[in-house]
């Protein structure tokens, strides 16, 4: 399955990652000051309104990678 197909299927079914996730965008563009553009595969919001970034990698994983489920990064409040 190609990465775009995985992204689209996952975007349609975000509750398999976390109940209450709402899709904001797919392929969300992040321009930077250097002029290059990065993309977030899936941008969502959780039930508290916090943004959730989901990156899809359908490439081959190294042997050192150990699947441990999904890891959820929490935002750090700005000072």
pLDDT in tens, the chain (79 residues): 788 888 999 999 999 989 999 999 999 988 777 777 788 899 999 999 999 999 887 665 554 444 444 455 555 454 4
CB 55 within 8 A of CB 20: no
Distance, C-alpha 58 to centroid of its chain: 13
Q: What is the DSSP string of 9-35?
A: HHHHTGGGTSTT-EEEEEEEEEE-TTS
Element (H, E) at 37: strand 37-45
pTM of the predicted protein model? 0.69
């Amino acid at each position: 399955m190609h990465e775009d197909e995985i992204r689209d299927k996952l975007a349609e079914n975000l509750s398999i990652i976390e109940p209450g996730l709402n899709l904001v965008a797919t392929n969300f563009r992040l321009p930077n000051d250097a002029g290059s553009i990065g993309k977030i595969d899936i941008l969502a919001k959780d039930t508290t309104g916090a943004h959730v970034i989901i990156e899809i990698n359908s490439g081959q994983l190294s042997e050192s990678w150990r699947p441990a489920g999904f890891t959820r990064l929490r935002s750090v409040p700005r000072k």
